[in-house]
Structure formats: structure tokens, C-alpha cells
Amino acid sequence: MKFEAKIKTGKNALRETRIEVLDKAGKFLVQAGELNEIVDAEIIGPGILSLIIEGKSYLVHITEGKNQKSVFLAGREYIFNEGEDAPELIQAGPGKFEGKIKAPMPGSVVKINGKEGDIIAAGQVLIIVEAMKMENEMRAPVEVRIDKIMVREKEQVEGMQVLMEVSEVEKK
Amino acid sequence: MKFEAKIKTGKNALRETRIEVLDKAGKFLVQAGELNEIVDAEIIGPGILSLIIEGKSYLVHITEGKNQKSVFLAGREYIFNEGEDAPELIQAGPGKFEGKIKAPMPGSVVKINGKEGDIIAAGQVLIIVEAMKMENEMRAPVEVRIDKIMVREKEQVEGMQVLMEVSEVEKK
Amino acid sequence: MIKKIFIPNRGEIAVRIIRACRELGIISVAAYSQADRTSLHVQIADEAIEIGPPPALESYLNIENVVKAAKESGADAIHPGYGFLAENKDFAAKCRDNGLIFIGPTPESMELVGDKVASRVTVQAAGVPIIPGMLTPQDNISSIITEAKKIGYPVLVKASMGGGGKGMQIVTEECKLKECIEASKRIAKSAFGDDTVYVEKYIEKPRHVEIQVIADHHGNAVHLFERECSIQRRHQKVIEESPSPAINEDIRRKMGDTAVRVVKETGYTNAGTVEFLLDQNRNFYFLEVNARVQVEHPVTEWVTGIDIVKEQIRIANGEPLSFSQEQIRHVGHAIETRIYAEDPEANFIPSPGRISVLREPVGPGIRVDSGIYEGYIVPSFYDPILSKLIVYDSTREKAIERAYSALSSYLIGGIKTIIPFLLNVLRHPEFRSGNLSTSFIQDYQEELFSYPEEEKIPFAALAAYGIYSSSARGPNTPGLREAGLPGVWDTLGGWKNTE
Amino acid sequence: MIKKIFIPNRGEIAVRIIRACRELGIISVAAYSQADRTSLHVQIADEAIEIGPPPALESYLNIENVVKAAKESGADAIHPGYGFLAENKDFAAKCRDNGLIFIGPTPESMELVGDKVASRVTVQAAGVPIIPGMLTPQDNISSIITEAKKIGYPVLVKASMGGGGKGMQIVTEECKLKECIEASKRIAKSAFGDDTVYVEKYIEKPRHVEIQVIADHHGNAVHLFERECSIQRRHQKVIEESPSPAINEDIRRKMGDTAVRVVKETGYTNAGTVEFLLDQNRNFYFLEVNARVQVEHPVTEWVTGIDIVKEQIRIANGEPLSFSQEQIRHVGHAIETRIYAEDPEANFIPSPGRISVLREPVGPGIRVDSGIYEGYIVPSFYDPILSKLIVYDSTREKAIERAYSALSSYLIGGIKTIIPFLLNVLRHPEFRSGNLSTSFIQDYQEELFSYPEEEKIPFAALAAYGIYSSSARGPNTPGLREAGLPGVWDTLGGWKNTE
């Protein structure tokens, strides 16, 4: 049995990966880029794999999120996006500014600067979210108008929850 | 919501136990014998429960077997049988002699003394099973005839697997 | 004799204190907020009692609730740990008023040393060198701004109560000061229940070297040598070690003597820490006294062989110190790394959540003080510290190798931790040479924050992802062996079956 | 310089060696049988290579396979651990012939000390006291029976090669001897690949006290003081400690000197252990030399601060010992308890199987050398040792409290372990008083094997069972909170819904 997929690695590189199940239990033929190796893989716990490739031993942990998997290897995390198309690798870290201000982490809203309709200058604090005693200030990247505020002060929020919608103020 | 069951504790004692789910999440009213307590219970891992009863904290681990559950508490194991009738507590340890010689543990058959039809004197070794470098000798409790041998030397066996059937030799 | 100790704290330090109690045959009572019912300290304590809602102000910082619960539990003593109410003089007094032994200094000496401004005045009078800064507390923000102008920028804004760098900020120009003071006050209020702040001169590239002290109620006071805690981010210690690679026997003796003098001048009892800054010319300045057991106490425990938490309990029991200054030895080298639930690749933002997998390092010369377990959901209400890895070996070089090796095998899945960052620090040549300062992380940020490029995904990660995903077609998929585990194969990525 | 070490072993000792390699910057290669693909040592080593089918004779004891795999891996040295081929002179010679550094003594000195009969002859000639017994090996069972008669019953039957009490049996009357010799031969063959056995006088209620020795290739030999290992069941050590509560400085020095004499007489190099029996009058008798790193080496590591495994590697590298006898200090008290997968309530029968839950103790003064992880399936092919808990504190009394506390929090679910039994030993008043002997377990079996009565099920166990079972009606059962875990509620006991 064979499986194949295209995996986007980084911003541009596209890599085709083929997995072939070999006769012996736990053995796979994996082709990715120029490498073509027999991989001895064993599940040793929920989401934990032990791999032996060319005699080298790797302990890998995979966690499954919504439409993505994270592969932890040697202290590093690799995120594989599994959206509509082929799996795509996305960068870890806080989301980009898209008109929606999102909570970078689960926590609680400490302070909201302004109300709907207010204009906030570039660099000024829009909202502060606290988790684990750390205050995270979300600042206006450019001069913006607050279109909608979805949360209240002291409210508990989830990571990546939309807190505010803002729009750029057109320069005359 | 209420549940109740009769639980045999030890050889004779029969104890009725009632569990009532209280309104607050994680709180139960448990009645067993003369005790009637509010139990605060939380699952904190697969089969691991944290209980707080009258201010005392208990860490309990439950494993599920075929028709039984084992409750580990403070370094001790309590086995609850869940056969046809009410749950019944059975003793841990190797099974009693019932005409069937059972493996006391998973391992391999090292030696079989005799063949079907042979008479073996009381106290003589019938079969030796080894696991983890420990040889376990199964001896004839009384003078017996070997009726049936179900395994061969070097064979891997499971714990409680029947190795031999024997019958007591009638005294004249 | 103390028979039952109430612990209004959580996480690794509560677990640490519970262990000491168990070894001493003392009953431990874990206090917990509603967010901590499933926390480790609740499970391992002999007894447990709820003290309020998740926010610390309503539970761990709620003196009323804490004292009431302690009395209900029948405890005769309270060990506050660090943080929360540990350095709150009102709490210490309230304990005493309620007939509870507070395991720590008296409210009076705590008041003196706990107030950073007052303690500076006292020790300066005794000839201890201090950093130029405010010597009287000011509530009024504009007065603080005036003082800052006198001292000269850059200045440091600090919370007068409490420590751990919470609320501390460097301000380089006057126009930023007001905003920083307001933020510091907010944080100080929420962390220590007191919003007094003050400013002092900011010394550039100093080392943070502190002296562990311990004093009984019979007039005996000793020091247990130094710890170097220069590796800090956001004024929060990340890596601590003992001995300091910076000081020689002469400076060590002088700092130790000075620390004991501070203890005697302030009438301090029980365990505490006298913090100093060491400038680039090896001059040391008194910073503050931490009137509690310190997060990094294990490094001192390992090099001296003295169990500081047990000694705290004995002192609270009225027993005299069981050793004299001359009997205390300092052998080998110990390093502590703090494991925070933060994303080192995204400016250390907190990363609460469920720990899906946990493998803690074990073995020779390794100690883990941990407040977590596999399956634990790290709440977002409290400090991001998950655990501490402490290693010991005969030399600093070997201890660094051991720390690196142990951290490499520390597997915490499901949430982000700063382990990759700690590994970068431990392998940095300047760290290895012992060239440390509190601006170390800033000075070498380029190397410290550079992780292997994401674009070059190792073949092993790709293969693991591919095999895992392609096997995820249900329990009967051929190929990957499951070793008798419950089904985890219930999702399918973007894979096509080609055969 | 050694760059890559091949480790033909498994379990906790393989993990221990891999850690030492990592800290020294040496690449580690784990060897594994087909039953050990999922074992911990395979996961944490840098490299891993299969060496044969599950039975040890076809893998870990298969010299051909092991040497072939070692050469294929590109290793330049082999660390054999303990057990398996560790004391096999043919293997050591084969390594040398293949240009592989064997981390242990030379084949020649191993041949001498590895043969218990020959070593007795040698050391007796050097004036070392020995136990009366056979001085020439006998293949013939009837000759052994004749010798036994000469020595006088009770006698001890022992395997000539190897140790760990495997194959050792006390025989009190002649009629049992033949059967015992046959069993010993069978076990010796399967464990060490050699079925030679011998008999010696059985000394009643002795203590087992051993001296750790270490010697380099430059003529330097030192001892690292003693370990007392009297707590044994089935001639297998269960609890070890250092120092021994039985000996004073005078006997300690005499035993140490004697052990170093044994090392010098036998031309022994690298780490080893000279075992003695101490009779009730404090006379000591040479037992044998264990030509390998010992299971219980961590207690010596902790009280002396010397990393024995790393020292082994340095010596194999040709380096001289880094310390002299005078420089070795002995501070505090260390205790090791071995965690076996055996059922202490059913005559210690082995208990292989899946570890459904694992929480290892952590904290101050605690070291765990472990070969297991949560989810691991302990195979039935090898030794039942899962891990070792080693604790350290300033006194024996405190160390016992620490061991007791740590063991109480050691949670291994799914299989039976001897932890309940170890707890019984640690709390026994005679153990606490230090009144030990190798028949300790037998002497106090009534107390040691009595566990709380099953009929008195604690209310907490009943409640846990009841709540767990009654909640087991599917994911929507009200009541028990699940803290976001995958469904475990898929079975139902004999419960009736009454409302």
C-alpha cells in the first residue's frame, strides 16, 4: 500500500512525499526530496513515535489540532497544516494583523482602550490580555478605527479568539 | 441520579453501596456500610482519580480487566469482580488448584515432567514455567494422573493459561 | 512541635513543601483555588481544602479565606512558599494573631525588609553599599518622576513589596515613565496586593549574585554562600547556579559577611536571601532581601547538603540551627533551569493548556522539582513556571553538560515551553565561559533566539508526519504497530491512497 | 579517544550508560532484541541496531551477533553494563580481537576473578579470608555431592560464572542436592552461557558487605568504601545502602585495604566490586569479585560524588584515575531500592505486562534510574528490574524517611511491583535499627508479608470504584468531570440505576 502527499515546507518549497508500507510490520519506505529511506516506526504512546532511520534513533511526538498536526522533534516543533488543499507547513507564532485583533494566548482581558468608533493612533495600545501574570499589549499597527469590540474587561478568552475588529483609517 | 450495587468484600462480608450524583460537578454522596460521605472526585488521567473525602486527599488508579476492575490505593490493589451477579471482590494471587494447572504469569514453558496418562506423586514437579529469569515449578498437590497437556516446551504462554489437566488418583 | 502544616500555595513549591512534611512525619494540607482542583499539589498532599475562585486575589491572596481554611484544617503552622502571601506582613501578623506558626520571619522584620525602600535606608546606615535611588516611598506619580530626574536616566521602576522581577521595568526617558509606573502598579497590586513602586539608578550589565542566609530564634545567623542568577529575561531569573563563576574566595567572604550583617541589622529570622548587584569592577551593591524560600534554593541545597525547607520548619519549631558557619561546606557545582510555559519563538508569550505528553529527565545528578503531570491542564491564572530542573556535578563544565543532556531528554508535549531557548543559552560560548550579566539575553539575542530554519524540515519529522497521517485510517490500517494502545487513529490528513 | 560506544544491554543500565555518553559527548549505540524495539534505551540512544530474537541466548548473549553489530555501527568501544555478557571473558577477548575497546577488565583478569572457584584459590594465597568450600571446579555432579559432604550441610550451590544470586540455592540435606544442582546449572546456562556450579559452606545470618573498587591501567587502584546489601530475597539484593550501619572505621579500613589487595593480586582494572560476608562476630570473608559495574553503584556515586560509569569510560580511554585514595570522601547516607515487576503478595512471581500509568518520584535527594515509561509493555524474557530509586540525605534515619516518602508516591499501574513490600521493609523497626542480615526477609516474613486485610476495603477505594463504575455509562453521564480526556467511559459494572 502506498500513500503520497504534497507538503509545503516553509514559504515556497513544495515537497512531494511518498510512503510505502513494506511487508515487515513497522517498516516503511519513505521518499521525500532526494532522500529515500527505510523507516522503522513504532508507536510507543499516544502520539509518540520511535523512529529508526539508517541506524539513527529519533523520538517524535505528534499532537493533533484542528486541521493541523504538530511534530515535536529534538526540542523543536514543526507544524503541518491540513486545510482544504494539500498539507501545508505554516509558521508558528502569533497571527498576522488582518483587521482582526486576536488573543495571542488563553487568558483574561485586563484593559480595553477606547470604544467602538474611536480612532487609535499607530503604536498605541488597543487592548491588554493577561495570562500567567504576563500582560500582553496589542497595539495598533497603523492608525485604525475600532469597528467592533467582542469582549469585556475581566473576560476569559481563548487563544486566537477575536477580541476586536479594526480598520485602517484612510490617509487623505 | 442514584446508583447502587452490592459489593462482596472478602469472603463473606456483603456491603451495599449507594452513589448519588449531587448537583455540583464532581461531587457525589457515597454510602457504604456505616459511612455516608460527600466525595469530591476528579478524573485527572486515564483511570486516575483524585478523591477528596472529609478533607483527606486520595490518589486512586483504576485499571479495567475482563469482568473486573482493580483499584490501586496507597500501594495496595483491590480487585472488584464484575461477573454475572453483583460485583464481587476476589482475592489477588495465584489461582487455586482445580484439576487445571494454570500458568501463574506470562512466560515460557521450560520443562514438562511426564506425558499424558502418567501418574505423578504428590509434591513432584509437573511443569516449569519461566518468566524474567525466574523458574516457577508447578507441583502436584496430591497424587495425580496427567489427563491432558495443552502446551509444549519452549512455548510462550499467557498468565492464567491452562497448561495441563490432571485428576486425583483415587486411593484404594 | 509542629504537627500539621497548611500550604497556601500551588505548583512545584507546594509539592516541594509537601515532600518535606512527609519526610518529617508532618501532615500536609494543600490549599487550592477552584482552578487548581486537578493540580498536583492537591493530589499528593495528605489533606486538601478549597480557598476560593481562580483569580489569585480571591484565593491564594485572600488573607481572610486562607486563615479561615488553615484554622478549619486544624493546622498549627503555615508554610507560604514563595510569591502570593509569602512576604505579606499583614498575613504573617494575622497568622500569629490566630495562633498559627508562620514559617518565615516575624511580621516586624518582614515589614522592614519587605519594603525595599525602608530596607535600603536601614542597611545603608549599617554601612552596606546600596544603589543610588529613592529612600522614601512616594504614592504620588509626579513625585516619583521628580525623583527619577534627580537620579538620572536610565532608571529602574520596581514594586516595593514582593520580588521575582514582577512589575520591574527599565525606563530610559522621562516620557515613558508614567506609563511604566502605571503598569508596574497594576501588576504589583495583582501579584502582591500592594501597589507601591519606587525608582533607582539602573546599573548597566551587572551580575545578579545573591547570598542565601538562615537565622534561628536564638541569635544564630549564617550564610550558605552565593548563587549567580544573572540569566534573566523580563527581569525574571531563568538559570541560576552556585558557585558564581565571577567571584573569588575574598569577595565571597565579604559578600557573605555583609549578608549576615543585613540579617542581624534587620532582626531577620528563618531562611532568606540577600540580593546584590555586582558591577563590572566586582563592586557589589545591596539590592533587597527576599524574605522567603527562593525559587532557586535547590542549587544551594545541592552544593551545601542542607535541606533549606526542612531547616525552615525546624527553626519555626524553635530549634536552634543545627550547624555553625564553619561547618558549612560548599562542594561541586549546581545549575537550575526554570521550565516556563512560554513560547520562546514568540517573545515568551504564555502557553497554558493541556500537557499531552510528559517525560521528565531522571538519573544521576538530576533533580526535578515539578508541579505538573501528563494530562494536566496548565491554567492561565498563575505563574508560568511548570517545574525546575536542577543538576549537580563536580565542576561547572560538567554540570553544564549534564543540564544540556537532561534538558534535551525533557519531553513536554501539547504546550510550548522555553526548553529550546534554555538549550541555546547552555550551548552559548559566552555562557560556557561564565561571562554573564543580567543583559546576557539581550546582548546575544541574535544567537539565542535563532532556531533551526523551519524550511529545512528534518527528514525524520517529515517521515513521522507522513507515516502517522497515512496510518490514520482506522484501527485496521496496515503498517504501523500500535503496541496495544487505545485508538488514536481517527483523523486523516490530505493523503491519497495510490495503490 | 573513544568516540562511539556500543551498549549490548537493555533496561535501566543501558539508559544509565547512554546518559553518561551524552554528557561526555560520546555517541551511544543501543543494541536491542526483537522484544525490545519499543524499550526506552532504543528511544533515547543516538543510534540503535537490532541484534536478534527475544530470548537472551539469541540476542544479548549471542557474542557473534553482538560483535558483528558493534562493528557495523562503527563503534570503537563496548560498555556491557551488568548481566548478559558483562563478565564473559570470551566476549571481552573477542572485542579486543576485533579492535573494540572493552570497557571493563582484561579477559585475563576477568577469567581469574570471574571464575569464583579460581578466584578463591588466588586470594586465599594472598592471605584474604575465604569461606570453606570447593577449591577446584567439578563437572561431575557426584563429585560435587562428595565435596558437599566434606564441607558439611547446610551448603550453598552457586554458579561459577556470573552473579546476582542467579542459580544460587541453600541446601540443607543431601537428598535435595542433585535437584538443586540441576536447576542451578539450567539457570546458569541460560543466564551466563556457562553451567559450572560449585558449593561452599553456608554461613548463617551473615551480612553482605561489599567494597567498590576502581583501578586504572597505570597501576593505581583505590576503593570507594562499602555498600551493605543484606536485604535479599531469593539471594537477589533488594535494598542497598552506604555506609553500612554495621561497621566502624577500623573494619571499614581493613575491608577496603583487603579489597585493594584483591584487585592488585588479580591484576584487575576498571570498576569492580569485592563482595564479603560479615558474620555475627564482624569477621569478614571474601565472597567473589563482580567484574562489572554493579546494579547498586549509584549509592556509592552519591556518597562519594564520583561518577563510576564515566570513570569507567575514562579508564578504558587509558587515562589515569583522577583521584587518590586520600582524596575520596564519604559524606551522608544513600539508599537504593530496586523496583522489580513481581507480585509481593504471591511469592514474588514475575508480573510482566503493560504499564498503564507511571508517576516517578522527583524532588530533593531523589534519583531514579529507570528503564520504563508510561505505556511500555514489560516483556517476560528478561530480568524483572524496572528501575531503581536512590535517595540521599545527611543521616541514615533521614534517608530512610526520604526513601519511604518517595516510594509512597511512586505510582506504577497495570502491573504488580514490589513497592508495597519495600515499604514494609523500610518501616520495620529492625531495619530502622540497622539490624540486618541476609536472612532478614525470612526472619521477619510474618510482618513483611502482611498487608492490610482485603476484607477491610478502605472507604476511598470503594467510593472510587463506585463512582468510576456508575459514571461509566458513556460520555454524557452526569457527575464525574473528565478534564478534557478521551473517553474512558465505555464499560459498565453491576450497577442499577435507581432514579
pLDDT of residue C133: 85
The answer to whether the Cβ–Cβ distance between A133 and C356 falls below 8 Å is: no
User: Mapped to the 3 state alphabet, what secondary structure does chain C carry?
Assistant: CCCEEEECCCHHHHHHHHHHHHHHCCEEEEEEEHHHCCCHHHHHCCEEEEEECCCHHHCCCCHHHHHHHHHHHCCCEECCCCCCCCCCHHHHHHHHHCCCEECCCCHHHHHHHHCHHHHHHHHHHCCCCECCECCCCCCCHHHHHHHHHHHCCCEEEEECCCCCCCCCEEECCHHHHHHHHHHHHHHHHHHHCCCCEEEEECCCCCEEEEEEEEECCCCCEEEEEEEEEEEEECCEEEEEEECCCCCCHHHHHHHHHHHHHHHHHHCCCEEEEEEEEECCCCCEEEEEEECCCCCCHHHHHHHHCCCHHHHHHHHHCCCCCCCCHHHCCCCCEEEEEEEECEECCCCCEECCEECCEEECCCCCCEEEEECCCCCCEECCCCCCEEEEEEEEECCHHHHHHHHHHHHHCCEEECCCCCHHHHHHHHCCHHHHCCCCCCCHHHHCHHHHCCCCCCCCCCHHHHHHHHHHHHCCCCCCCCCCECCCCCCCCCCCCCCEECC
Q: Is D354 a catalytic residue?
A: no
For chain C, what percent of residues have pLDDT higher than 90?
Answer: 67
Active-site residue, from D16, D207, D252, D292: D292
Q: What is the mean pLDDT of residues D113-123?
A: 84
CA-nearest of C132, C160, C131, C157 to C144 is C157
Higher pLDDT, A15 or C319: C319
pLDDT of residue A15: 66
pLDDT averaged over every residue in chain C: 89
Q: What is the mean pLDDT of residues C310-339?
A: 96
User: Cell 507564532 appears where?
Assistant: A93
pLDDT of residue A130: 87
**pLDDT band per the 50, 70, 90 thresholds, residue C189:** confident
pLDDT of residue A81: 72
User: Which of A26, A49, A77 shows the shortest C-beta gap to C468?
Assistant: A49
**Which chain A residues have a beta carbon less than 8 Å from that of C491?**
64
For chain B, the distance separating the N- and C-terminal CA atoms, rounded to the nearest angstrom, is 62
Task: Report whether pLDDT(C480) > 80.
Answer: no
The answer to whether the Cβ–Cβ distance between D349 and B105 falls below 8 Å is: yes
The three three-digit cell numbers of residue C477, written as one number: 490500517
User: Which of A40, A55, A59 shows the shortest C-beta gap to D47?
Assistant: A55
State pLDDT tens for residues D275-295: 999 998 899 999 999 999 999
Task: Report whether pLDDT(C35) > 90.
Answer: yes
pLDDT of residue B1: 62
The answer to whether the Cβ–Cβ distance between B44 and C43 falls below 8 Å is: yes
**Which chain A residues have a beta carbon less than 8 Å from that of D375?**
44-46, 48
| CATH 3.30.470.20 domain span(s) along chain D | 207-464
Q: What is the mean pLDDT of residues D319-339?
A: 95
Q: Which residue of C has its CA nearest to B45?
A: C375
The answer to whether the Cβ–Cβ distance between D44 and A46 falls below 8 Å is: no
pLDDT of residue C209: 98
The answer to whether the Cβ–Cβ distance between B57 and C374 falls below 8 Å is: no
Determine contact: D376 vs chain A, CB below 8 A: yes
Subunits adjacent to chain D (3 or more Cβ pairs under 8 Å): A, B, C
User: Which of A69, A107, A135 shows the shortest C-beta gap to C380?
Assistant: A107
**Which chain A residues have a beta carbon less than 8 Å from that of D38?**
42, 44, 50
Mutation site for B-interface testing, chosen from D233, D374, D382, D470 by largest number of B Cβ within 10 Å: D470
The answer to whether the Cβ–Cβ distance between D331 and C393 falls below 8 Å is: no
pLDDT of residue C71: 98
* Angle at alpha carbon of residue C358, lines to C354 and C360, rounded to 5°: 140
| CATH 3.40.50.20 domain span(s) along chain D | 4-103
Q: What is the mean pLDDT of residues D347-367?
A: 91
The answer to whether the Cβ–Cβ distance between D341 and B37 falls below 8 Å is: no
The answer to whether the Cβ–Cβ distance between C375 and B45 falls below 8 Å is: yes
pLDDT of residue A39: 93
Task: Report whether pLDDT(B91) > 70.
Answer: no
CB neighbour list of residue C68: distance below 8 Å, 6 or more residues apart: none
Distance in angstroms (rounded) separating the CA atoms of residues B70 and D465? 8
Mutation site for C-interface testing, chosen from A15, A43, A154 by largest number of C Cβ within 10 Å: A43
Higher pLDDT, A75 or C25: C25
Higher pLDDT, C274 or D468: C274
Task: Report whether pLDDT(C335) > 90.
Answer: yes
Which CATH superfamily is C132-201 part of? Answer: ATP-grasp fold, A domain (3.30.1490.20)
Q: What is the mean pLDDT of residues C478-482?
A: 45
pLDDT of residue D306: 94
CA-nearest of D281, D282, D130, D103 to D198 is D130
Chain A, 22 to 61: residues with Cβ < 8 Å from chain D are 26, 40, 42, 44-46, 48, 50, 52, 55-57, 59
Q: What is the mean pLDDT of residues D244-269?
A: 96
Most confident option among A65-74, C152-161, C166-175, C293-302? C293-302
Mutation site for D-interface testing, chosen from A24, A43, A57, A64 by largest number of D Cβ within 10 Å: A57
Mutation site for A-interface testing, chosen from D7, D29, D41, D42 by largest number of A Cβ within 10 Å: D42
Q: How far is D401 from chain C (nearest CA, A)?
A: 5
**pLDDT band per the 50, 70, 90 thresholds, residue C317:** very high
Residues, chain A, total?
172
User: Which of C43, C373, C376 shows the shortest C-beta gap to B57?
Assistant: C43
Q: Which class does domain C207-464 fall in?
A: alpha beta
Task: Report whether pLDDT(B49) > 60.
Answer: yes
pLDDT of residue C471: 66
> pLDDT truncated to tens, each residue of chain A (172 aa)?
666 666 655 544 556 778 887 867 788 898 887 889 999 999 888 889 999 999 999 999 998 877 778 888 877 778 777 654 433 332 223 334 457 888 888 889 999 999 999 999 888 889 998 888 778 888 887 888 999 999 999 898 988 788 999 888 876 5
| CATH 3.30.1490.20 domain span(s) along chain D | 132-201
The answer to whether the Cβ–Cβ distance between C45 and B57 falls below 8 Å is: yes
Q: What is the mean pLDDT of residues C239-254?
A: 96
Pairing of strands D155-159, D169-171: antiparallel
The three three-digit cell numbers of residue C76, written as one number: 498549627
pLDDT of residue B13: 55
**pLDDT band per the 50, 70, 90 thresholds, residue B137:** confident
State pLDDT tens for residues D197-216: 889 888 889 999 999 999 99
Task: Report whether pLDDT(C235) > 50.
Answer: yes
pLDDT of residue B172: 56
pLDDT of residue B83: 56
- What number does CATH give the domain D4-103? 3.40.50.20
Task: Report whether pLDDT(C452) > 70.
Answer: no
pLDDT of residue C481: 45
State pLDDT tens for residues D433-490: 999 999 999 999 999 988 765 556 788 988 898 888 776 543 344 444 443 332 222 2
**pLDDT band per the 50, 70, 90 thresholds, residue C494:** very low
Chain C, 204 to 243: residues with Cβ < 8 Å from chain A are 234
pLDDT of residue A7: 65
